[in-house]
Chain A
Amino acid sequence: MNAIEVKELNFWYGSFQALKDINANFKEKKITAIIGPSGCGKSTLLRVFNRMNDLIEGVTTRGEVIINGQNILNKDIDLVKLRRDVGMVFQRPNPFPLSIYENIVFGLKIHGLKDNLNEVVEKSLKAVFLWDNLKDRLHQSALSLSLEQKQRLCIARVLAVRPRILLMDEPCSALDPQATLRIEELMRELKNNYTIIIVTHNMQQAARISDEVGFMLLGELVEFGKTEEIFTRPKDKRTEDYISGRYG
């Protein structure tokens, strides 16, 4: 099953074309990594999936992105529903300057859900393995947490609104190597219930955690396929050059 189908996707910032004829299928309950050098369009592609690019002025999107049988690029798509369905974890661990508890219920409050808040908080924190550590200090500021805990909290904050797809934009780039490995472990856990798409600079990370990989260069999706194939037998010369470290 495909969680996201991308057909002939083109994207412009003003007159600059950031995505060129992207075609790809992202499989359900798998981790798909998007790799490529800086400025290749991988974050832009990720932000198409929850329409975060809408917030920038002067962008144009063409093509189709099918999620849940609907083309989410349609003007009349319900953005609130889309963003509940497609959650996003950002590069910087950025909990709100609120308590741990309030951080997790923020999304629920927005959507007018007021029942079983405690239960949701517990479930979300358990899902990111923070519950045992934090259950006695839920009402302390989230800003007192370590970077890794903050990032886990940010993931819990997304999980609380019960998305099906998780977009992760370099979620480990602010973390140290040990914390990175532990977050990767968490992602493998989450894969059982969520479709994960991760943008990463770190090729080893892509190799370690992803089931499928897309390699992007200058706005093109050069190659897309099973991780072990891309890393052992890349079909395109440019992919080979990139993963063997010749640029990027």
Chain B
Amino acid sequence: MKNPKITEKVAFFFLFLATLLIVVPVGLIVIIIIRKGLPAINWKFLTDIPREGMRQGGIFPAIVGTLYLVLGAISFALPIGLMSAIYLSEYAKDNFFSRLIKLAIVNLAGVPSVVYGLFGLALFVVFFKFGASILSGSLTLGIMILPIIITASREALESVPYHFREVSWSLGASKWQTIRYLVLPNAISGILTGIILGLGRAAGETAPILFTVAAFYLPQLPKSIFDQVMALPYHLYVISTQVPNVEEKLRYGTALVLLMIVLFMNLVAIIIRYKFRKKKKW
């Protein structure tokens, strides 16, 4: 292997292969879900309640439930996550304690989701007596995505160059004004990336909602945040493993809807991010 050209070709080949190994399964998953799920998608499937022991009818309550849970989780996790990210990156002094907190947050992102589910059960359902409800489920999902949002926001804030802050302070701006008018506008696209990741995770997880909110079969819409709801990932699990003789296309149709909801949320965030990037004039 003395010839650098050959070495380079071999290296490129393996790097390409690694990329391919990631892209191919993703593509296959999407193609299979679309092929098997698309025949199930029609107006009735999207707007009707499940019927005949979930073997017929639609998945409307589960769609609504997932949307509620995701919105609830993000409206809890975004303000708290963003505020703590601002505190950690702009105000907290760099000492052992703050480094410990940052390390803990990063590690929190790696905690298995079923652990969050148990935690939510103990804290929100039992201790705070919220019961199995949208509130408990949203808070549990929110806590699960907090580390993602904090870490992404912190990185976005810290990527704004220090000398910009210095100029702002030297013009007489306070720390908060500098954050508000200079740092945040420049960090927003990175923060949105964190939100996208968080949304996707909140919409797709089953374990955290298992004990805290998800209803096995509830053919009606929730009336308050203290009601249980059906949710797409759990519904998918139920009709795949708990209910015999469910048509395959219903299962794949449910998966497809879940996928589409996540993709749609991401799309919205991507568009917002693109608009901010264009305004940014780097």
Contacts and interface: CB of A to CB of B under 8 A. Distances in A.
Interface string A94-130: 1011110000001101110000000000000000000
Contacts of A110: 168, 171-173, 177, 181
Interface stretch (B125-133, B159-167, B204-212): B159-167
Interface in A69-117: 79-84, 87-88, 90, 92, 94, 96-99, 106-107, 109-111
Contacts of B171: 83-84, 87, 106-107, 110, 157-158, 161
Q: Is the interface of A mostly helix, strand, loop or mixed?
A: helix
Interface string A118-162: 000000000000000000000001110000000000100110010
B169 A80 contact: no
A96 B167 contact: yes
B182 interface: yes
Interface in B129-162: 161
Interface stretch (A21-29, A50-58, A200-208): A50-58
Contacts of A80: 172, 174
Contacts of A158: 170-171
Nearest to B167: A94
B177 to A, nearest CB: 5
Contact of B164 (A81, A87, A94): A94
A158 B172 CA distance: 10
B93 A57 contact: yes
Contact of A79 (B166, B172, B182, B186): B172
B20 to A, nearest CB: 37
Nearest to A95: B167
Contacts of B282: 97, 141, 143
Nearest to A50: B170
Nearest to B280: A97
Contacts of A109: 181
Given A57-B93, A94-B163, A110-B177, A83 B169 contact: yes
Contacts of A50: 170
B2 interface: no
A109 B181 CA distance: 9
A143 B169 contact: no
B93 A111 contact: no
B169 A81 contact: no
A84 B173 CA distance: 9
Contact of B172 (A83, A92, A94): A83
Interface in A180-231: none
A7 to B, nearest CB: 24
B163 A84 contact: no
B9 interface: no
A93 to B, nearest CB: 10
A130 B57 CA distance: 70
Contacts of A154: 167
Interface string A43-67: 0000000101001010000000000
A106 B281 contact: no
Interface string B215-230: 0000000000000000
Interface of A: 50, 52, 55, 57, 79-84, 87-88, 90, 92, 94, 96-99, 106-107, 109-111, 141-143, 154, 157-158, 161
25 contacts: A50-B170, A55-B169, A79-B172, A80-B174, A81-B172, A83-B169, A83-B171, A84-B171, A87-B170, A87-B171, A90-B163, A90-B170, A97-B280, A97-B281, A97-B282, A99-B281, A106-B168, A106-B181, A106-B182, A107-B173, A110-B172, A111-B172, A141-B282, A158-B171, A161-B171
The 3 closest A-B pairs by CB, nearest first: A141-B281, A83-B172, A107-B171
Interface of B: 93, 161, 163-164, 166-174, 177, 181-182, 186, 280-282
Given A94-B167, A107-B171, A110-B171, 14 more contacts: A52-B169, A55-B166, A83-B170, A84-B172, A88-B167, A94-B163, A94-B164, A96-B167, A97-B280, A109-B181, A110-B168, A141-B282, A143-B282, A158-B170
